[in-house]
Amino acid sequence: MGIVDTSLETFDEQVLSASSRRPILVDFWADWCSPCLVIAPVLQRVVDELGGRVDLAKLEVDRGENMKLAGHYRVRGFPTVILFHQGKELGRFSGARSKLQVLHFIHEHLGGFDFG
């Protein structure tokens, strides 16, 4: 999968179901949000660096009915990044982070997961 844009209509398949195969970071973001624009390339670098061991789904909250997902997951600020694995939320953080902070977050929540 790599990096995909997801939506209310595709979230179950692209995130919840797909997370049974590999962990997925979901970036809840908005175009008007400066920290969202800062973290986007950081998340892309992390996913690229992990070489397919973790995927990224980007959910623009202002598009269509996507805000319903933000409400469902009780997202209070943007960006919020949630890590899903086996269909469940493992952890989340809000705000811009460095590549090392994002990698630490992934390792912290996936413990013995093989990052090669």
- Domain positions in the chain are 3-110
- pLDDT score for 114: 55
Is 66 among the residues known to form the active site?
A: no
Rounded CA gap, 62 and 70, in Å?
10
Rounded CA gap, 92 and 72, in Å?
14
Say how many CA atoms lie within 13 Å of 60 toward its Cβ: 8
Residue 78 corresponds to which amino acid? F
- Residue among 1, 8, 16, 33 flagged as catalytic: 33
Is 33 among the residues known to form the active site?
A: yes
- Residue among 36, 47, 82, 103 flagged as catalytic: 36
Q: Considering the chain, what is the average pLDDT of its residues?
A: 94
Question: Rounded to two decimals, what is the model's pTM?
Answer: 0.94
Mean pLDDT of 88-102: 97
- Report whether pLDDT(103) > 50: yes
- pLDDT score for 20: 96
Strand (E) or helix (H) holding 4: strand 3-5
**Superfamily of domain covering 3-110:** Glutaredoxin (3.40.30.10)
- pLDDT score for 28: 98
